[in-house]
Amino acid sequence: MLARLSTQAVKQNAAVAGQARRAISVQSLLHGSPEAKQEGDVQIQQHSRLVARGKYVHGFEVHKVKPSAVDDYKKAAEAYYTAIKEDPELHVKLTGSWEAVVGEQDTFYHILEYENYSGYDKTTQKIRNSEHINTYQKLIPYLTGRSQQLCQEFAFFPTIPPRTEGGVFELRTYQLHPGTLLQWEHTWRKGIEARRKFVAPVGAWFSQVGRLHQVHHMWQYPDLQTRKETREKAWQLDGWSETVSKTAEYSMLMDAIILEPLPFSMLK
């Protein structure tokens, strides 16, 4: 009798243990175990450190403007962005300001450079407590929408300093599949080194705050015909087609927007 009870107890304990293991296994598969989540968070942070030039943060400010108010907006934007870039108490640089001419019309892009996130915090706080905020408020009536994104530069290609070369700019934006930033950067960097014999990027960034899993790179050409000829030359390079194919696999959406610099832009 005691033997039978002991045997039943062993079987019951084994069954409970098996159910517990299955529950843990299912929980891990469906939700991710705490250990897996922690490891994933660390990997994401490591990816950012591996690909980023960590000193600077770039703010991408995008304004959608009422078609009837474009000229008034340009005047207000020049007053605001010129004032903040010339204020010695603000630790911010204006990389450039552009108007989209191919892509979403009546859309304007402003890229600002801050020294790390602490520089962004200090600058935005000072703007809120200064006359600059009143200048910025004069922009608002002309807008139909606005967005902001904080990005870091890819380490292999820092943003170029101010220059005036004329022509047009192309901003290419890729919406990546989550978790593919490191692969995208590795593939694109290998391909771009060869392409730089024809043209070098103005800058290359990946998002950190705002719309995530996005990468941007910007190019400058004398005109759209030169852009076409330059891109055709790139296809003749060994490995370029593979670069395009692989980076496309990591992307869900791609945009190519043609921009013209505004008169006060530091890059034009």
Query: Higher-confidence residue: 108 or 27?
Result: 108
User: Residue 6 — pLDDT band, cuts 50, 70, 90?
Assistant: very low
Q: What integer pLDDT is reported at residue 30 of this predicted model?
A: 37
Tell me where in the chain the CATH 3.30.70.100 domain(s) lie: 54-153, 157-262
Q: What integer pLDDT is reported at residue 248 of this predicted model?
A: 92
pLDDT at 183 over 90: yes
CATH number of 157-262: 3.30.70.100
pLDDT at 11 over 70: no
The beta-carbon contacts of 46-52 under 8 Å, at least 24 apart in sequence, are: 47/181, 47/182, 48/152, 48/181, 48/206, 48/208, 50/182, 51/154, 51/155, 51/181, 51/182, 51/185, 51/206, 52/152, 52/153, 52/154, 52/155, 52/206
Token pair for 178 = 């989550």
User: Residue 48 — pLDDT band, cuts 50, 70, 90?
Assistant: low
Q: 């759209």: which residue's tokens? A: 224
Kindly state the average pLDDT of the residues 121-138.
97
Question: pLDDT over 70 for what percent of the chain?
Answer: 80
For 54-153, which CATH class? Answer: alpha beta
Token pair for 133 = 């905020």
Q: Which of 21-25, 47-51, 175-179 has the highest average model confidence (pLDDT)?
A: 175-179
Q: What integer pLDDT is reported at residue 87 of this predicted model?
A: 96
Question: Average pLDDT over the chain, rounded to whole?
Answer: 85
pLDDT at 20 over 80: no
Query: Higher-confidence residue: 237 or 268?
Result: 268
Q: What integer pLDDT is reported at residue 106 of this predicted model?
A: 98
pLDDT at 118 over 50: yes
